[in-house]
Structure 1
Amino acid sequence: MYKKLFTLLLLVLPCHLFAQKNLLKDFPEGFGPKEVGKRLAYRFVDRKHMLHAGKWISYPETFNWTGALKYAAITKDKTLLSLLEKRFEKLTSEEKQLLPIMNHVDLNMFGSLPLELYQITKDKRYFELGMPYADTQWAVPENATPTQKEWASKGFSWQTRLWIDDMYMITIVQTQAYKVTGDRKYLDRAAKEMVLYLDELQRPNGLFYHAPDVPFYWGRGNGWMAAGMTELLRLLPKNSEERPRILKGYETMMKSLKQYQSPTGMWNQLIDEPECWAETSGSAMFTYAMISGVKHGWLNKAEYAPVARKAWLALVPYINDKGDVAEVCVGTNKKNDKQYYYDRPRNVGDSHGQSPYLWCTVALLEK
């Protein structure tokens, strides 16, 4: 009897209700996260360094490296892990001068990379290299400016500057420190910082200005916020004082992004400008945030899984035969000039774009 009823339900109910759960699992050939991730992760191994100010390993390279490590770990690719670790060994020996100093939000984030290696290998050397980058983000230096000291006196990082980029740079190294120590101070102070940025920069439509004095919804900048909130929501316990505010900010942003997704599946360099060009790094960051939201239950699966799938299917064709992502906005400072964002150069293979694609592959592969 029950078997007949179930058969009847299969005939009567719309097929998409049963297919819904597979929207983030079943992809056409060439679009699967494992095959896409392999192309991108192995591509990193032989890339030239992308330096900050021509001196130190940059944040785009750091996140590209970490993304490749996460991919190697989730796929249990020992060959890739060995290649990535060997490259890091070179960085800490003959290329030691390229290790970033610890005096800026875009440099301290480097600590997230050795701390990722520590989580995978349990090699204490990586822990000892990474932790000072997290700790000095809250340790006020003697030459700090009055503004920096004021931020610190309120319990925030002295590196606070209210640029949306910061909410990944600060969040990622502090959450990594929490993962390897279990000390809630790292998680709590990152969450407090995030609430500050939400209150200062998020607009009623859910999107974020690049900075208080730059009223434009820049794609990748908003992507840093989306990814930063995602990293925190993965870790913050339900009894966290800051979790409801961050979840609300995340949900409001995702609702707005759903509305601004173009018919092609992408998001534009300026999100709310339909005539602006489609940009890959920000689009991939939004996709990562949505995939994670669906899988962790922060977002309604029926509503957001199709959005994330559409985005992923749109993103993959931007990868060329070398494993390089096209249409990546170059590094971008804030500027109160809309045309400035329209005119930003676009690179191929820029690590700003490679890393969020890898985040997407890992999120899709997660159970």
Structure 2
Amino acid sequence: MYENIEKYIDKLMTSAPDMPLWNIESIKQGKKPAWNYIDGCMTTSLLEMYKTTGEKKYLDFVISFISYYVHDDGSILGYEPTKYSTDDVCESRILFDLYSFTGEEKYLKAIKLTYSQVEKHPRTKEGNFIHKAIYHDQIWLDGLFMMQPFYTRYQSTFGGKDYSDIIKQFKNVRALMYDEKAGLYYHGYDSSRTLFWADKTTGLSKNFWLRSIGWFLVGLADVYGYIEEDHVEDRAAIKAIFTEAINGILRYQDDETKMFYQVPNFPKREGNYIETSGSAMVSYALLKGARLGMLDKEFAAKGAEIFNGIVKNKMSAENGDLNLKDICLVAGLGPENNTRRDGSYEYYISEPIVENDAKGVGPFIMAYTEIKKLM
């Protein structure tokens, strides 16, 4: 079943750093090369392939790719800390591994540059990082994945292992954004209650979006893995939130494909579809959660079941060309001048559906590395 996966990864590694095959947003919109979370998803997964297989081609590719962006003085092409974008912190998580593997000081300098954003990043009144400067007063589930693994690893490596702020931010999200009845997390929260998409009483967005829940689950699993093992209470706090969220999303698993819908709680509603990226994130979270002891071992089989569903239903091999399909290109809330992004059901199913974007491919490869650990 898996014989084509590494050929598919090799295909994507023919990418040039200024216009990678997996960054469909950049290709479609003609964006200038810049540090971004989409490339971060892919390079993180390739480093995991290196750590899992020992095959140096993955590490060599990432080093070559990142050399285009990270300069000797630690500056990063297209990275502006004062944009206060949680998304832009995401890719910097790979710098810890690159520094460890190579010893090159430029990676350490780039880590310190990124941490300067963490130190100054604006917060909501509850104490959480805002999603971006243009998304003021807002917490998005996505942002927990984008920011907290880097922040946690920094604390474990350079920061004195103080995880209290990280734990508090996850607990705030649990208190503010979790729906007890549905067992799911809302995509966004506006602490100001002023944004057009936000409920004026709760501050919450209108719906549950699969990939945002996937980001949250992956963020929790990765943060747990970066917290030092002797910090038992911190790990227990993350584990409790993670376990509850996993059990919640599993209620919405599709019986036939074993995957999940774009808007998970409306599986039969017109226009809804089985979405690949969020399903891959749930698969990875289950597999890693079971391996790390956050979940009982039998949950690994559930993660593998979802992964196999993706391979069977969403990986095509036409004339020898491999593609991963049915990936939602992007979804968000606002800003104020973009009222189409209103968090409605109709909005989430209206966004483009693409192939081979790293928001799906990266988590798919991450899940594959966990599968390989079971082999």
Distance 1:149 1:350, change over 3 A: closer
Task: Write the mapping of 1:133-172 to structure 2, written as runs, cut at 5 A.
Answer: 133-140=114-121, 148=122, 151=125, 156-157=128-129, 161-172=138-149
For residue 196 of structure 2, what is the aligned residue in structure 1?
none
8 A Cα contact 2:224 2:239, kept in partner: yes
Of residues 267, 270, 286, the one that matches 1:274 is 267
For residue 18 of structure 1, what is the aligned residue in structure 2?
none
Of residues 305, 308, 316, the one that matches 1:310 is 305
For residue 365 of structure 2, what is the aligned residue in structure 1?
358
1:182 CA displacement: 5.9
Of residues 78, 81, 91, the one that matches 1:99 is 78
Using CA pairs under 8 Å that are at least 6 residues apart, name the structure with larger relative contact order, 1 or 2.
Answer: 1
Structure possessing the higher radius of gyration over alpha carbons: 1
Task: Write the mapping of 1:210-229 to structure 2, written as runs, cut at 5 A.
Answer: 210-212=187-189, 213-229=204-220
Task: Write the mapping of 1:260-299 to structure 2, written as runs, cut at 5 A.
Answer: 260-263=252-255, 264-275=257-268, 276-299=272-295
Of residues 170, 174, 183, the one that matches 1:206 is 183
For residue 94 of structure 2, what is the aligned residue in structure 1?
113
Q: What is the TM-score of this pair, normalised by structure 1? A: 0.79
For residue 36 of structure 1, what is the aligned residue in structure 2?
5
CA separation in 1, counterparts of 2:76 and 2:230?
Answer: 42
CA deviation vs aligned residue, 1:249-292 (integer Å, no higher than 9, x gap): 21111112222111111111011111221000000000001001
For residue 86 of structure 1, what is the aligned residue in structure 2?
64
Task: Write the mapping of 1:236-251 to structure 2, written as runs, cut at 5 A.
Answer: 236=227, 237=229, 239-251=231-243
CA separation in 2, counterparts of 1:206 and 1:68?
Answer: 32
Gaps of 5+ in 1: 1-29, 141-147
Distance 1:251 1:238, change over 3 A: farther
CA separation in 1, counterparts of 2:76 and 2:218?
Answer: 30
CA separation in 1, counterparts of 2:98 and 2:187?
Answer: 31
CA separation in 1, counterparts of 2:213 and 2:119?
Answer: 24
For residue 189 of structure 1, what is the aligned residue in structure 2?
165
1:91 CA displacement: 2.6
8 A Cα contact 2:291 2:300, kept in partner: no
Q: Which amino acid aligns with 2:205?
A: V
Q: Which amino acid aligns with 2:96?
A: L
CA separation in 1, counterparts of 2:241 and 2:187?
Answer: 16
Distance 1:259 1:97, change over 3 A: closer
Distance 1:272 1:91, change over 3 A: same
Q: Which amino acid aligns with 1:226?
A: L
1:156 CA displacement: 4.2
Count of equivalent residues: 324
For residue 145 of structure 1, what is the aligned residue in structure 2?
none
Greater strand fraction, Structure 1 or Structure 2:
2
8 A Cα contact 2:177 2:186, kept in partner: yes
CA separation in 1, counterparts of 2:63 and 2:283?
Answer: 28
Distance 1:306 1:81, change over 3 A: closer
Of residues 243, 257, 271, the one that matches 2:249 is 257
Most deviating of 156-165 and 102-111: 156-165
8 A Cα contact 1:269 1:278, kept in partner: yes
1:301 CA displacement: 2.4
1:329 CA displacement: 0.3
For residue 346 of structure 1, what is the aligned residue in structure 2?
353
Task: Please give the root-mean-square deviation of Cα atoms over the aligned residues, in Å.
Answer: 2.6
Greater helix fraction, Structure 1 or Structure 2:
1
Distance 1:98 1:182, change over 3 A: closer
1:109 CA displacement: 2.3
Of residues 146, 152, 162, the one that matches 1:175 is 152
Most deviating of 85-94 and 276-285: 85-94
For residue 43 of structure 2, what is the aligned residue in structure 1?
65
8 A Cα contact 2:76 2:110, kept in partner: no
Runs of 4+ in 1 over 6 A off after TM superposition: none
Task: Write the mapping of 1:38-53 to structure 2, written as runs, cut at 5 A.
Answer: 39-40=8-9, 43-46=12-15, 48-49=19-20, 50=23
Distance 1:178 1:39, change over 3 A: farther
Question: Secondary structure of the equivalent of 2:244?
Answer: helix
Q: Which amino acid aligns with 1:293?
A: G
Gaps of 5+ in 2: 132-136, 190-203, 334-341
8 A Cα contact 2:139 2:188, kept in partner: yes
Distance 1:41 1:192, change over 3 A: farther
CA separation in 2, counterparts of 1:336 and 1:99?
Answer: 29
